[in-house]
């Protein structure tokens, strides 16, 4: 079992409760900065630290760094909901970010705003594990109706919740980040916090709860936030188990190699008396 937990952050209560429903024996932990965490175990027996960070990239970056400093995790994940902005997405699908665009970076000139694109990429090893989890297909909650599709692609992260597909903000995203598959408000914050702190593996997992257009209020009333949050949480907990197991396996291999090298050195330096 890994001695380092996996941290999972959420922004909304519906996201938090969806993750918490998977935890075994959660118990409260208050950090020295008065941040509330819950520590529990996954079905696979690995330790998970859960926090409600609040909405927005800045809030998540701060709470993410506090979690990293307090728990020294093996990885940090974000589980939540997002608006889908590509036609191939359906409500309830799960999107795993291959990279995150902090889309509000720009300069203001006489001709208007000019984009300053910046990309925060997922670590290669974590990306490989996430693809393996998606291929296996065992993560989906059998109690949920339908079978959500897992898609990998860029996510645009800003500070705006979108209710119109033809707003200035959405046109900006389509113009400068036209390969983004979803839009949300926390991914850039947690990706940056992990990047600046020991370059931790970080994965952003999003369930599609709306299509970032004028149907958002209707889909919210229909309960799609809870469905999307549950789908994202199911994938996130399976991924947390796999990342923790990978960390444990790597530690065991490293320890075995060290022992073998030590034994070889002992044998080389030994003498046999007669």
pLDDT in tens, 225-268: 999 999 999 999 999 999 999 876 654 444 455 555 556 555 55
Asked, for residue 1, whether it belongs to a domain, the answer is no
Asked, for residue 174, whether it belongs to a domain, the answer is yes
Domain count, the chain: 1
Asked, for residue 98, whether it belongs to a domain, the answer is yes
- Mean pLDDT within 42-46: 95
Asked, for residue 274, whether it belongs to a domain, the answer is no
Helices (H), ranges, the chain: 13-20, 57-71, 124-136, 168-176, 187-196, 216-221, 224-269
CATH number at residue 52: 3.40.50.1580
Q: Which residues pair with 170 in a beta bridge?
A: none
Asked, for residue 40, whether it belongs to a domain, the answer is yes
Residue 258's pLDDT is 52
Question: Does residue 269 carry a pLDDT above 80?
Answer: no
Asked, for residue 96, whether it belongs to a domain, the answer is yes
Contacts 24+ apart (CB under 8 A), 36-42: 37/67, 37/70, 37/71, 39/5, 42/237, 42/240, 42/241, 42/244
pLDDT in tens, 117-143: 888 989 999 999 999 999 999 998 766
Q: Please calculate the CA angle 177-179-185 and round it to the nearest 5 degrees.
A: 60
Sign of the dihedral defined by the CA atoms of residues 263, 251, 198, 71, in that order: negative
d(CA 113, CA 104): 10
Question: Does residue 111 carry a pLDDT above 90?
Answer: no
Residue 248's pLDDT is 64
Please provide the size of the chain in residues: 274
pLDDT in tens, 1-37: 447 999 999 999 999 999 999 999 999 999 999 999 9
Residue 147's pLDDT is 80
pLDDT in tens, 134-183: 999 999 876 665 789 999 999 999 999 999 999 999 999 999 999 999 99
Q: Is the pTM of this model over 0.85?
A: yes
Question: Does residue 215 carry a pLDDT above 80?
Answer: yes
Which structural domain range is residue 204 located in?
A: 6-269
Question: Does residue 55 carry a pLDDT above 80?
Answer: yes
């Amino acid at each position: 079992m890994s001695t380092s937990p996996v941290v999972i952050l959420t922004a909304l209560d519906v996201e938090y409760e969806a993750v918490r429903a998977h935890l075994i024996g959660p118990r409260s932990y208050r950090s020295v900065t008065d941040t509330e965490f819950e520590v529990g175990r996954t079905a696979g027996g690995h330790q998970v630290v859960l926090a409600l960070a609040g909405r927005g990239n800045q809030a998540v970056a701060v709470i993410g760094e506090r979690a990293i400093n307090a728990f020294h995790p093996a990885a940090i994940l974000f589980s939540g909901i997002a608006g889908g902005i590509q036609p191939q997405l359906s409500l309830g699908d799960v999107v795993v970010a291959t990279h995150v665009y902090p889309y509000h970076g720009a300069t203001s000139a006489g001709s208007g705003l000019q984009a300053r694109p910046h990309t925060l990429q997922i670590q290669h090893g974590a990306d490989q594990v996430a693809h393996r989890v998606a291929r296996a297909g065992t993560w989906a909650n059998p109690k949920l109706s339908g079978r959500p599709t897992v898609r990998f692609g860029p996510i645009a992260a800003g500070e705006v919740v979108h209710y119109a597909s033809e707003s200035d903000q959405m046109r900006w995203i389509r113009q400068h980040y036209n390969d983004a598959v979803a839009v949300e408000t926390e991914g850039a914050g947690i990706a940056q916090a992990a990047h600046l702190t020991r370059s931790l593996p970080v994965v952003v997992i999003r369930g599609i709860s709306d299509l970032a257009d004028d149907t958002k209020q209707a889909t919210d009333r229909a309960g799609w936030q809870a469905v999307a949050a549950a789908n994202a949480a199911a994938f996130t907990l399976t991924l947390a188990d796999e990342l923790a197991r990978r960390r444990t396996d790597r530690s065991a291999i490293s320890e075995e190699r060290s022992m073998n090298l030590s034994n070889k050195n002992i044998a080389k330096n030994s003498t046999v008396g007669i």
